[in-house]
Amino acid sequence: MKSIRLVRALLVLGVVTLAMSASSWAQVVVSIGIAPPALPVYAQPVAPGAGYLWTPGYWAYGEEGYFWVPGTWVTAPAVGLLWTPGYWGWGGNAYAWNSGYWGRSVGFYGGVNYGYGYGGSGYQGGRWQNGQFYYNRAANNVNVTNIHNVYNTTVINNTNVNRVSYNGGNGGISARPTRAEETAAHEQHTPPTALQARHVQVASTNHALLASVNHGRPAIAATAKPTEFNGREVVAAKEAGAPYKAPENKTAATKATENKTAENKAAATKATENNAAENKAAAAKATENRAAENKAAATKATENNAAESKAAATNATENRAAENKAAATRANENKAATPKAARPPAESKKEPTAHAQPAPRPAPAAHEQPAPRAAVAHTQPAGHPAPAAHAQPAPRPTPAAHAQPAPRPAPEKAAHPSGG
């Protein structure tokens, strides 16, 4: 049961993976060892309005086996796009589902006759013209009162002749792609819309749509709009396309193929999960190591910068101190070597005695020679000492060590008798 649930998940994933680019859109999404039931016979509901395109119903595979996805009207994701239905094809050891897609032209869909314009090759149900979709009334159920873009071209629709729903294998359709269909397969494709994916998901949860329950004749064969499985617009199948064969009748070889396919998918999924876990762990470890290395490097760089800055500051301080000390030493040596210059005496308002000399005594008579006789008439009166020539002002009192005696009065010149 677990492996079947995985298969169903893969099927739904293949249909609803809208994030995939058109160029990488995976066509084969699941493979099963037993062929799908025949297509049921049902009538097409009336088109709900202009711009809707018909997408035929088909058998999908889920955890409880095949279930019917009702045909419905949908709007194209872009003007000019047409729908190529998906189909089951034999791949040599299992039936593979090839998902449908939107494109500028309709590609190969296994030669399966889905009806209503999809007769096994191409599409005769309508065409795009001047940005509007025109409906072929011969292939579609349209109300011309509401929809005016219509035309009428005869379509050969052998819906009651061949209801086989798969290509190749035992009892399958033997059609092969035409050159035009091969060209269309290599064009730009757009995956199913989100509403189409939701339509499949809702159908997978409806128990009445299981082939094992309805035996190939679903009560909801078609709807007017996606996911609307109730109401007057729901169309039931008229009959099964062929007698229903229960899955229990499948051969041992088919069971072995299914089991092997499921095991392979489970192993691949497990390997992918393990690889993802290992890659995630390795990436996390690498990130942690890188973060630790970056942190250690940053710490080391910070420490180195701090040490270098401290050493530079210390060196600068020591150099400055040494330079200051050397400058001070040179200044002291120069000062000691230079002799002190005699300072000039400070100027004073009072004129000091030059070199602190004592006042000059009165000049004595030259070698005490007797005055010439003729000089009697000019004898100065006795008792008047002659004033000192150019007498200097009295000096300021000097210290006792240098005190000079006051000048004595000059002795009177001895009177010499005249020549008698």
Could you tell me if residue 385 is inside a domain?
Answer: no
Same-domain status, 123 and 18: yes
pLDDT of residue 256: 58
Q: Which of 212-226, 260-274, 312-326, 363-377 has the highest mean pLDDT?
A: 212-226
pTM here is 0.56
Same domain as 269, residue 143: no
Residues 147 and 14 in one domain: yes
pLDDT of residue 294: 83
Residue 314 within a domain: yes
Between residues 419 and 47, the one the model is more confident about: 47
344 within domain boundaries: no
Read off the pLDDT of each residue in 390-405 and give the average, rounded to a whole number.
50
Query: With bands split at pLDDT 50, 70 and 90, how would you rate the model's confidence at 3?
Result: very low
| 176: in domain | yes
Tell whether 18 is covered by a domain.
yes
* pLDDT band, very low/low/confident/very high, at 343 (cuts 50, 70, 90): low
Q: Are residues 168 and 276 in the same domain?
A: no
Residues 136, 153: contact at Cβ < 8 Å? yes
Looking at residue 330, what is its pLDDT?
85
Q: Write the DSSP assignment of 15-68 as a string of letters.
A: HH-TTS-GGG--SEEEEESSPPPPPPB-PPPPP-STTEEEE--EEEEETTEEEE
- 61, pLDDT greater than 80: yes
- To the nearest 10°, report the CA torsion of 89, 202, 223, 73: -70
Do 95 and 166 have their domain in common? yes
**pLDDT attached to residue 396:** 59
Report pLDDT digits (tens) over 285-295.
Answer: 888 888 888 88
Q: Are residues 77 and 212 located together in one domain of the fold?
A: yes
Residues 308, 228 share a domain: no
* Pair 177, 302 in one domain: no
On whether both 68 and 167 belong to a single domain, the answer is yes
Task: Examine the pLDDT at 310 and tell me if it is beyond 70.
Answer: yes
In this predicted model, what pLDDT tens digit does every residue of 79-132 receive, in sequence order? 999 999 999 999 889 999 999 999 999 999 999 999 999 999 999 999 999 999
Q: Which long-range contacts (CB under 8 A, 24 or more apart) does 119-123 make?
A: 119/155, 119/156, 119/157, 119/158, 120/173, 120/175, 121/175, 121/178, 121/181, 122/180, 123/82, 123/83
* pLDDT exceeds 70 at position 370: no
Segment 271-282, tens digit of pLDDT: 778 777 787 877
Is 80 exceeded by the pLDDT of residue 359?
no
> pLDDT over 90 for what percent of the chain?
46
pLDDT for residue 348: 45
**Rounded distance between C-alpha atoms, residue 80 and residue 188, angstroms:** 13
- Residue 348: what are its φ and ψ, rounded to 5°? -140, 155
Give residue 312's pLDDT. 79
- Which domain-ending residue is among 329, 349, 374? 329
Q: Which residue has the higher pLDDT, 360 or 271?
A: 271
57 versus 269: which is more confidently predicted?
A: 57
Region 397-415: mean pLDDT is: 51
- The band of 69, judged by pLDDT with boundaries at 50, 70 and 90, is very high
Domain coverage including residue 239? 2-246
What is the percent of the chain with per-residue pLDDT over 70, rounded to a whole number?
69
CA–CA distance, 105 with 188 (Å, rounded to integer) = 10
Of 280, 305, 329, the domain-final residue: 329
Residue 360: inside a domain, yes or no? no
Q: What is the mean pLDDT of the chain?
A: 78
Which of residues 252 and 202 earns the better pLDDT score?
202
What is the tally of structural domains in the chain?
2
Q: How confident is the model at residue 296 (pLDDT cuts 50, 70, 90)?
A: confident
Q: Are residues 19 and 129 in the same domain?
A: yes
Q: How many CB atoms lie within 10 A of CB 57?
A: 26
User: In terms of domains, do 70 and 213 share one?
Assistant: yes
Q: Give yes or no: residues 7 and 117 share one domain.
A: yes
- Residue 413 belongs to a domain: no
Question: Token digits for 68?
Answer: 């019917």
Mean pLDDT across the stretch 310-320? 82
Domain boundary among 205, 224, 246: 246
* Residue 340 in domain: no
